[in-house]
Structure formats: structure tokens, C-alpha cells
Structure 1
């Protein structure tokens, strides 16, 4: 698939231009492998060896990496982000670098429950089902949350997905978005697992919020790819004698403002995270909800502006554009809209705000 040349350029959040150019070979490789999930997983494994960890001084660079890959191809970002998140979670838990490609499965679903119990030797065993397990059949392992006995809450576990007792369903994935990354249900029957820290550690650590902002960086990158494609279409039309009208220019100007403001918020948030890695200062979760909500709103507005201006043609005949638009529409729905804003409002009402 031929992505726009401009899409294979780094996305700036906080680094100097010269630093960003180091991402160029990676982005070109990703552009050549769109749709090839096994190859993209190999890239994710390589990147995971050296990618920055959030809260360790280079959080902005991590988010630039995620945004830049997703600008080339949303699905590629969707492959890379959970692997890097799993690497960071395991490091935060004091575990070694994982071997192979890993994911993070923390979703819950009605009528589905994954439980962790101990056997006679004191080892943890998983039984039950887990929904929304992206690429489970192609991964070597995953960080997985499960319910503990006697109302102790949930805990995170490191799990080898290639061992007996793990059964991955093939979902009926009808969506046009993220078609190469279906998220199905996984069944666990007497599957050994390694506990990561203690009850509720996974959700209470600052890194949980940081990972959520990393996803928002991917959303922004996907929108930057569409915005660059839109600007390129206007330039191409002008070269052929059709200058953009005032409406198209106004929309491009609004898109520029949206990207600049969202990127500035991510840069400022990254600085705060690196200044307070232990979670001091502003609430990590309020920072996450603020960043995710701002980016999600910007992304949806950019999609609407680009779609209105470009019309039905590229949706019908431009493979990269149609895929990017469909992939991003599904990916950004990980933000829960007004429900997430209600959580942020509750925190703001309690004084967790800067105004």
C-alpha cells in the first residue's frame, strides 16, 4: 500500500527536528510493511529493546515514536503500542524484558470473568475468559488482569500465551477498521501465571495513566497522517490550476490549531510526568483524562474536516486514506467520550485542577 510521502515523516511533540530524523528509517520500514502483522510484530520487538520508558525523562520522545508510527499506518501503531506498554509494565513490576511479542489484556465484559487462584504449591492459576484480546493468537505473552479470590480486587499477571490451556477464539470481525488486528475472546483453563506486584497495583500505579496517554499519542499521530494527506491534496490541486477556496483554507487552519494545541498539551504533560515519576503533583489520572479527552476531540474534528473537504472520492478509491480513516475511527473509540469527561469533572470538583 502506498502511503503519502508526507505521512512517513516524524510527528513533533517536544524533540528537536534533528532528533526526530532518527525515526526516519523506522517509519520507512513501517510504510513498506502495512498489513503484514507478523513483520510489524518483529519491528515492535526490536523497538521495545531501546524505546524510552514513561516517567524516566524521555516520555515525550516515547509519545513521538508512537505518534510517528501511527501517522504512517494506524494499525501499525496499534501493534506497537501494547507491546511497548507491556514492556513498561513488566519493568515497573521489577520483571525482566519479555521475550517475543507481548500485549496487554485488561478489558472486562458482561458474562465474562477471568479468575486467579492458587494451587497447592502456592502458584497462581488462571481460569475463565477475557474479552478484547488483540492479536492473542500471534503473541508470545501478555500482561493480563484477573480477579482475585474473596473480593481482594484485581491483579496483573504475566502469562505465556503459547502454553496449554490457552484457547484463542477467532472473532467475527465485521468492522472495516483495524481489520488485521481483530480483538477476540481468550479462554484460560488451568494456566500458570506470574503475579505482578499485589492486588490493584496495575490500576493504581501512575504508569496505568501514562499508558493511556500513550494511546492518545497514537490517536494524534493517526490524525496528523490524515491532515498531511489533506494538505498534500490541496497542493496537488493547486499545481493543476485549482487553488483552494477560503473554506478549505479555513479548515486547514483549524486543523493546524488543533494539532498544535494537542501536541503542546502532550508535551507539557510529558514534562510533568518526568518531573514527578512517583506520582507526586497533579493526579496522574486527571492528567490522563485531560490529555485523552483533548486529543480525542481534536482527532474527531480533524476527521470530520478532512472528510468534508475531500468528499467521497478518496474514501471509495484511495486505499491508504480509506484505511487510515476507518482504522482511526475505531481506535479513537477507546475514549469513552462524556463518561470519561464525567470522571474528569468529578476530579476537578474535588480540586484536582490547575485553574
Structure 2
């Protein structure tokens, strides 16, 4: 296992395409190394590579998710910046919209209190209220933002540089992903343009695909942690306990990478739409999240406190991944998967 290098989930079978993709991923890894821990540099990277990478379902899904995993194995700040930018471009592509230039985010999570509201006004809508969980909302150019129109949720494209969009400072106190401020934005009579009809954002096949793309980032982050375990084993003769943790981490990552590769193949084959897509997203996210949590635990047991106390990259990666994994809703997502089983029956077993 290389200490640094592309994370490959499969893709084109012919040598020419495979070599081209590996060269592209190797260049992306080098650029991610240069941007490590720097949100501004990560935004520059996202803006420059966004249109170069494929969208899910276009035949290059494995390459796209390999790119996300490769960046995450280097630095989760960069990956956390790149992933929503790519997701926004994919959503706009599904909607048949050409994205305006600049960096994009996706703000679609619901938070406490009164939800963000949108009202029609001529050829556009206006947004009023607070939107929670707006990653880099004070630094991005634009975002796709969900808001309530009456009793329905709808997605809107919003210019975040307008006076009616204000990032709320001083609310992001996380110890992980410290450079990716994900505090709220207050909207006041902010101009917004509808992307799709009410309900379209959640109903489109790409919603599930985007959720699997996030899991590819978790997978890459776990690969980065496991690579640190390999490096430690190379500096001294590992005992049997260290070897046990390393072997178990390898098996967990193999399983996670396999389900991601299978999901990428199924997305491109047109099999993961509707209920099948949502079930696949729940399955893949669970397998990957549990693998990542297992790797974190085994790294802690196998490495001890030293790297957490003295290795900046490792300590930051662990804190970043622990926070990032909370996008998986754990037992609640397991219950949702069980509900899918009862409603639609088992598939594949």
C-alpha cells in the first residue's frame, strides 16, 4: 500500500483509458497535497478541476469516486471542499442547467428552528430565514440551497456574494474540519432561481448517487489513516497485535472499496434509480462508514497515543474523519434500510 497515491475503484478496462485516468488522479493527488489544510487553496482546486471530472451516471462514476477518495486519502479539508462543488455541478447537469462560473456548494440539510422560506417574485424567488450547515458559506461564490415553498421543499441557485446572504460568524467550534466553517447563513430578501420543480431534488436518481459520493470520501479518509498504520509498521518490527489490527483494517477497506466499485458500475448501467438507488446508497454508506469507524478504532489501538499527540497530519485526519462520518445517521439510517426491505423486499440475498 503506497503512503501516497491514487485510490482506484475500477473503471475503464482498456489500457489507454486506465493509464489516462491514473495519470489524472496522480496529478490531482499532487495538487491536493499542495492545498492540504487550506480551504482557500482547496476552493481554487475545486474551481479548476470541477468541469474536468465526470458526473455520476455518465460512464465515469468509478473515476469520479476514485478522485474523491484519492483526495480524501491526502487531506479531508480539500475533499470536503471538492465534494459539494462536484455534487452541485452534477445536480445542475441533471437539471439541464449550465453552471455559472465560480465555486459552488450544496446547502440542503435541515436545522433547528424555523426553516428557510422561499416566495415567488416575478421570474425568481426570494429567500428569507436562516439556513444551517452551510459549509464555506462565507467563501463560496454560489450554492444550491433547499428552501420551503409552502409545504414543499425546492432547490434554488443562489449567488452568495449578494447583500442578502450573510454567513453567521463564530458558530463553528468543531475540532475536526476546522478550516471548513459550516455555520449558518442568514438570508434576507435574497434573490434565488429555482432548480427543478418542488420535490425534484430529493426524487431525482442523483440524490442517492451524491450520497454514495460522500461515502467515497469517507473511504479515502480511512485509507489515509490505514496508510499511517502501514508506515508505523515499517519503522519497527510490528508485534502480532499490530499485525492483527493492520490485517483487519485491510479487510474492512477491501470490503468498502468493493461495494463502492459495484455501486459505480450499477450507477453507470442505469440500475440505481428510484427505490433501488436509495437502498444502494443506504447499504454502501453503512458498509463504508462502519469500515471507516473500524479503521479509526484499530489505528488508535495499534498506534497508541504517539501519532495523535505528535503527528499533525494524522491527528488532523482522525479528527476530520470522525466529524465527517457523522453525516452518516448511524442507527437511523439502519432503520431506514430496514424499512426499505419491508416495503420493497430484499434484493441480492
Q: For the superposition of Structure 1 and Structure 2, which TM-score range results when normalised by the shorter chain?
A: over 0.9
Mapping of residues 286-325 of structure 1, within 5 Å = 286-325=279-318
Worse overlay, 334-343 or 163-172: 163-172
Which residue of the partner structure matches residue 235 of structure 1? 234
SS at 2:134's partner residue? strand
Q: Distance between the aligned counterparts of 2:3 and 2:49, measured in 1? A: 20
Q: Secondary structure at the match of 1:226?
A: helix
User: After the TM superposition, which of the residue ranges 25-34 and 130-139 deviates more from structure 2?
Assistant: 25-34
1:143 aligns with 2:144: yes
Provide the residue aligned with 1:13 in structure 2.
9
Query: What is the rounded CA distance, in whole Å, between the counterparts of 1:109 and 1:275 in structure 2?
Result: 35
Deviation at 1:127, TM superposition (A): 0.9
Q: TM-score, normalised by structure 2?
A: 0.95
- Residues 55 and 64, structure 2, Cα contact 8 Å, conserved in 1: yes
In the alignment, structure 2 segments of 5+ residues that lack a partner are none
State the Cα deviation string for residues 224-277 of structure 1 (Å, max 9, x = none): 01111110110121xxxxx21111111111111111111110111111111117
Compute the TM-score of the two structures, normalised by the length of structure 1. 0.93
Structure 1 runs not aligned, ≥5 long: 238-242
Q: Any idea what the Cα deviations from partners look like across 1:175-203, whole Å, max 9, x if unmatched?
A: 21000001111111111111011010000
Contact 2:38 2:78 in 1 (8 A): no
Q: What SS class does the counterpart of residue 132 from structure 1 fall into?
A: coil
CA distance in 1, matches of 2:271, 2:144: 22
1:345 aligned onto 2:338: yes
Q: Which residue does the alignment assign to 1:268?
A: 262
Distance of aligned partners of 1:101 and 1:61 in 2 relative to their CA distance in 1, 3 Å threshold: same
- Secondary structure of 1:344's partner? helix
Dislocated runs of 4+, deviation >4 Å:
none
1:290 partner SS: helix
Choose from 51, 55, 58 the match for 1:53: 55
Q: Is the 8 A contact 2:72 2:221 kept in 1?
A: yes
After superposition, residues 16-165 of structure 1 pair within 5 angstroms as: 18=19, 19-119=21-121, 121-149=122-150, 151=151, 153-165=152-164
Following superposition, the deviation at residue 7 of structure 1 comes to 4.3
SS of structure 2 residue aligned to 1:139: coil
Contact 1:54 1:62 (8 Å CA) reproduced: yes
CA 1:8–1:98 in 2, change beyond 3 Å: closer, same or farther? farther
Distance between the aligned counterparts of 1:156 and 1:11, measured in 2? 33
Question: Are residues 222 and 124 of structure 1, via their aligned partners in 2, closer, same or farther at CA, if it must alter by over 3 Å?
Answer: same
Say if 1:117 and 1:124, in contact at 8 Å, map to a contact too: yes
- Between the aligned partners of 2:170 and 2:333, the Cα distance in structure 1 is 27
Shift of 1:172: 3.1
